[in-house]
């Protein structure tokens, strides 16, 4: 075993049958643990990364391997309730009652810490969290190691917790000594953390044992404080608080502006980002009663379409009921061939079976990441029982949350016009022509159900100039009026709220992105987006300025060809207003 935590380690993966664990298979890992090594092991909740809780150096190595912030304490795992006595200064009656009721099981109890526990475990706190896991491999490992085992979830800090050995290896391979592989963890969300060190027991983290179950044994229990409440945006959109560095933005629920990829922190109060897949995660919470299947399905489908409309590969993690409703109503974005290729769907269980969803929660997020999606839309559960833990994990990993219980969140299907910005240099010829042609096509082809607003601007524009006379003439020949057009420079304000930005040349796109890198995910060349580049000019629409009216006509022809394909692509994302066209389509009961 290496001397320092930073040295690479050879990670051995040992398969163990959870129904009949072979003690010999576990022995080596247990010896390694007792000598100060790092061993990942299965519990009923998630895989843990174990170290001897009495060995400060070993515990420090756990923080290092995970990249875990130094102020987030670890849970100490024991193989029998009696082992808790020497780890804590006092075992109150309520703690004993809870151990009898729920141990071994997914409940961690925060009690006053004794000096046996390395202070590194508790990050300087006077308390320690203890738990006896309900997994034969974990219990045998702790017994054979002969030491209490400090173990956080065995993921790289910030990532979804690992519920399979391969998730552990993906995050921590080369940084730890052993992984005991006993297959998937049955519960799937971590233990409930209950603070018994204060006057009234308080749930710090909802988990495998529900608040209702705890109250059934010890009476009064303070419920967990939910993650930062999502402020509602006009038009039924909502966001959660977002941690520093998180790529976050309000996500319009109504298929409006494209969610930008990166913005400054909105909620610096939240110190640590948790459970986050690599893809940007947006969560729909159905509210306490569950508003019925239709609004949830609408919001889930609408968000997925908004993300697809931004050109992202999208993963949908939703209940069986929502998937069924969306597909029966013809509302799944995947019903169109073009979009199906960009959409992955994981049904993670019935909305009435929170245990199914919990068991699949983290692995689904990781699977969607592995499939290469760029955005995930996930459906939460009614916030009772295990649903509370599911929603907690989803919300903490999300960049945006749509809570259907919040006023204003309903009616999410009301469509805002979607703004498209056409960009050239001076905003007097090509981009006003492009905006006029595309806007006209979308109006005629999209009908009333799909509203687009097409505007234009220039990367090197002087504000307030009219369109060039040739541009006005050539557009008039096509029945389009540019006389009222006035040029304007591209600014952050102009860009904000745009769903798609189309430049006339590659160079303009680069100029735009050097000034506004935040729009990289929605900026394309007009011809590139339309899929109509030609061998000579590539993705550029040549500048007709000074070349006479014929050159303008050629540019207008090129723009028209590109606009026709672009309009088709834009309109191929079906919208939710379509639901109103299928009154016979009742949601499943
Ligand atoms: O199910 C689980 O609990 C898994 C498995 C491996 O046992 N472990 C786990 O550990 O989830 P971790 O480190 O990912 O989460 C531990 C949680 C954190 O929220 C931490 O802040 C809290 O427990 N915690 C630990 N010790 C504490 C203490 N002394 N006071 C308050 N909170 C504590
Ligand atoms: Mg964790």
| Reported confidence tier of residue 452, pLDDT bands at 50, 70, 90 | confident
Atom of ligand 1 nearest to the CA of 151: 6
Higher pLDDT, 31 or 299: 31
| Residue from 42, 59, 74 to probe ligand 1 pocket by mutation (most atoms less than 8 Å from CB) | 74
Ligand 1 atom nearest residue 127's Cα: 29
What residue's CA is closest to ligand 1, atom 31?
110
Q: Is the pLDDT assigned to residue 554 strictly greater than 80?
A: yes
Once rounded to an integer, what is the mean pLDDT over residues 299-322? Answer: 88
Distance 129 CA to ligand 1 centre (A): 7
Nearest CA to ligand 1 atom 7: 48
Tell me which of 108, 165, 393 to substitute to probe ligand 1's pocket, judged by most ligand atoms within 8 Å of the beta carbon: 108
| Distance from the alpha carbon of residue 235 to the mean position of ligand 1, in angstroms | 38
Cα(208) to ligand 2 centroid in Å equals 14
User: Ranked by mean pLDDT, which of 74-83, 254-263, 330-339 comes out on top?
Assistant: 74-83
Cα of 150 vs centre of ligand 2, distance in Å, is 12
Residue nearest to ligand 1 atom 15, measured at CA: 152
Query: Average pLDDT of 99-103?
Result: 98
Ligand 1: centre distance to CA 173 (Å): 22
Provide the pLDDT for residue 573.
53
**Is residue 27's pLDDT more than 80?**
yes
> Which atom of ligand 1 sits closest to the CA of residue 197?
30
Classify 339 as helix, strand or coil.
Answer: helix
| Nearest by Cα to 519 from 541, 503, 540, 507 | 503
Long-range CB contacts for residues 466-471, cutoff 8 Å, separation at least 24: 466/428, 467/428, 467/429, 467/432, 467/433, 468/428, 468/429, 468/545, 468/552, 470/429, 470/544, 470/548, 470/549, 470/552, 471/428, 471/429, 471/430, 471/432, 471/433, 471/552
For residue 22, how far is its CA from the centre of ligand 1 (angstroms)? 28
At residue 117, the pLDDT reads: 97
Select from 59, 190, 396 the residue to mutate for testing ligand 1; criterion: most ligand atoms less than 8 Å from CB.
Answer: 190
Q: Which of 152, 160, 209 for mutating ligand 1's site (highest number of atoms within 8 Å of CB)?
A: 152
Among 90-99, 293-302, 439-448, 461-470, whose mean pLDDT is lowest?
439-448
CB 12 within 8 A of CB 178: yes
Residues with CB under 6 A from ligand 1: 43, 45-46, 48, 72-75, 106, 108, 110, 122, 125, 127-129, 133, 151-153, 190-191, 193, 204-205
104 upstream amide cis, omega within 30 of 0: yes
Q: Which atom of ligand 1 is nearest to the CA of 121?
A: 26
159 in Cβ contact with 276 (< 8 Å): yes
Q: Are 341 and 320 in contact (CB under 8 A)?
A: no
pLDDT over 80 (residue 256): no
| pLDDT score for 230 | 41
Which residue, judged by its Cα, is nearest atom 24 of ligand 1? 73
**Residue 310 predicted with pLDDT over 70:** yes
The pLDDT score that the predictor gives to residue 514 is: 94
The band of 5, judged by pLDDT with boundaries at 50, 70 and 90, is low
Mean pLDDT within 382-386: 90
Instruction: Of 185, 253, 193, give the one whose Cα is nearest residue 73.
Output: 193
- What does the pLDDT read at residue 249? 32
Among 41-45, 269-273, 386-390, name the one with the lowest average pLDDT: 269-273
Atom of ligand 1 nearest to the CA of 68: 13
pLDDT, tens digit, for every residue of 524-547? Answer: 999 999 988 888 878 999 999 999
Return the ligand 1 atom nearest residue 193 CA: 23
pLDDT, tens digit (0-9, with 9 covering 90-100), for 206-231: 999 999 999 999 999 999 877 754 43
Ligand 1 nearest-atom number relative to CA 72: 21
Ligand 1: distance of its center to the CA of 245 in Å?
A: 23
Strand residues in 11-136 grouped as ranges (E):
12-15, 39-41, 48-52, 75-77, 107-112, 127-131
Closest CA relative to residue 175, chosen from 58, 38, 69, 268: 38
Q: How many residues does the chain have?
A: 589
Q: In this predicted structure, what is the pLDDT of residue 308?
A: 83
Contact residues for 574 (Cβ-Cβ < 8 A; gap 6+)? 305, 330, 331, 333, 335, 336
Q: What is the pLDDT of residue 309?
A: 77
Model confidence at 521, pLDDT cuts 50, 70, 90, reads: confident
Confidence grade of residue 331 (pLDDT, cut at 50, 70, 90):
low
Which pLDDT score is estimated for 133? 98
Question: Measured in angstroms, how far is the CA atom of residue 159 from the centroid of ligand 2?
Answer: 8
pLDDT range class, residue 273, cuts 50, 70, 90:
low
Q: What pLDDT does residue 342 have?
A: 86
Average confidence (pLDDT) over 417-438: 93
* Mean pLDDT (the chain, rounded): 84
Q: Which residue has the higher pLDDT, 252 or 110?
A: 110
Rounded to whole angstroms, how far apart are CA atoms 401 and 111? 34
Confidence of residue 447 (pLDDT cuts 50, 70, 90): low
Locate the ligand 1 atom nearest the alpha carbon of residue 106 and give its number.
1
Give the ligand whose atoms come closest to the C-alpha of residue 135. 1
Closest CA to 502 of 540, 475, 466: 540
The model carries a pTM of 0.69
Q: How far is the CA of 224 from the centre of ligand 1 (A)?
A: 14
For residue 88, name the pLDDT band (cuts at 50, 70, 90).
Answer: very high
| Of 66, 75, 121, 126, best ligand 1 pocket probe by most atoms within 8 Å of the beta carbon | 75
Measured from the alpha carbon of residue 151, the closest ligand is: 1
| Minimum-distance ligand 1 atom for the alpha carbon of 190 | 1
């Amino acid at each position: 075993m290496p001397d320092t935590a930073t040295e690479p380690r050879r990670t051995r993966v040992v398969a163990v049958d959870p129904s009949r664990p072979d003690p010999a298979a576990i022995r080596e890992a247990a010896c390694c643990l007792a000598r100060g090594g790092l061993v990942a092991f299965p519990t009923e909740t998630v895989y843990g990364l174990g170290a001897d809780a009495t060995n400060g150096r070993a515990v420090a190595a756990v923080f290092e391997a995970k990249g875990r912030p130094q102020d987030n304490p670890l849970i100490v795992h024991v193989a029998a309730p009696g082992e808790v006595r020497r780890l804590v200064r006092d075992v109150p009656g309520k703690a004993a009652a809870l151990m009898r009721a729920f141990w071994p099981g997914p409940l961690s109890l925060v009690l006053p810490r004794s000096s046996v526990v390395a202070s590194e475990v508790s990050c300087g706190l006077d308390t320690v969290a203890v738990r006896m896991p309900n997994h034969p491999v974990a219990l045998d490992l702790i017994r054979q190691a002969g030491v209490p085992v400090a173990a956080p979830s065995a993921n790289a800090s910030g990532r979804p917790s690992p519920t399979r050995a391969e998730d552990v290896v993906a995050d921590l391979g080369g940084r730890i000594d052993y992984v005991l592989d006993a297959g998937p963890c049955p519960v799937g969300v971590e233990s409930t953390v209950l603070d018994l060190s204060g006057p009234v027991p308080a749930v710090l983290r909802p988990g495998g044992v529900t608040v209702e179950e705890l109250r059934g044994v010890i009476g009064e229990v303070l419920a967990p404080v939910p993650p930062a409440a999502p402020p509602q945006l006009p038009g039924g959109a909502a966001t959660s608080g977002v941690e520093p560095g998180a790529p976050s933005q309000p996500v319009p629920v109504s298929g409006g502006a494209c969610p930008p990829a990166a913005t400054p922190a909105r909620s610096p109060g939240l110190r640590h980002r948790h459970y986050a897949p690599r893809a940007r995660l947006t969560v729909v919470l159905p509210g306490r009663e569950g508003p019925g299947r239709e609004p949830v399905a609408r919001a889930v489908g609408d968000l997925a379409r908004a993300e697809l409309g931004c050109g992202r590969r999208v993963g949908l993690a939703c209940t069986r009921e929502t998937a069924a409703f969306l597909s029966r109503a013809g509302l799944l974005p995947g019903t169109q061939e073009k979009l199906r290729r960009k959409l992955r769907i994981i049904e993670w269980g019935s909305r009435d079976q929170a245990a199914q969803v919990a068991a699949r929660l983290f692995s689904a997020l990781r699977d969607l990441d592995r499939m290469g999606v760029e955005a995930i839309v996930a459906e939460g559960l009614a916030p009772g029982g295990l649903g509370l833990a599911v929603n907690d994990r989803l919300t903490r990993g999300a960049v945006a949350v749509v809570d259907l219980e919040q006023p204003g969140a309903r009616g999410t299907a009301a469509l805002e016009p979607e703004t498209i910005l056409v960009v050239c240099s001076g905003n007097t010829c090509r981009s006003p022509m492009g905006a006029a042609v595309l806007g006209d096509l979308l109006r005629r082809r999209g009908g009333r159900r799909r509203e687009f607003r097409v505007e234009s601007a220039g990367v090197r524009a002087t504000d307030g100039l009219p369109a060039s006379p040739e541009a006005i003439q050539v557009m008039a020949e096509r029945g389009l009026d540019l006389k009222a057009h006035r040029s304007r420079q591209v600014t952050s304000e102009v860009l904000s709220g745009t769903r798609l930005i189309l430049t006339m040349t590659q160079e303009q796109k680069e100029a735009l992105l050097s000034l506004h890198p935040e729009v990289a995910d929605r900026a394309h060349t007009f011809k590139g987006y339309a899929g109509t580049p030609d061998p000579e000019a590539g993705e550029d629409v040549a500048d007709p300025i000074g070349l006479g009216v014929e050159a303008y006509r050629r540019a207008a022809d090129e723009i028209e060809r590109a606009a026709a394909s672009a309009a088709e692509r834009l309109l191929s994302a079906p919208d939710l207003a379509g639901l109103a066209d299928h009154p016979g389509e009742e949601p499943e009961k």
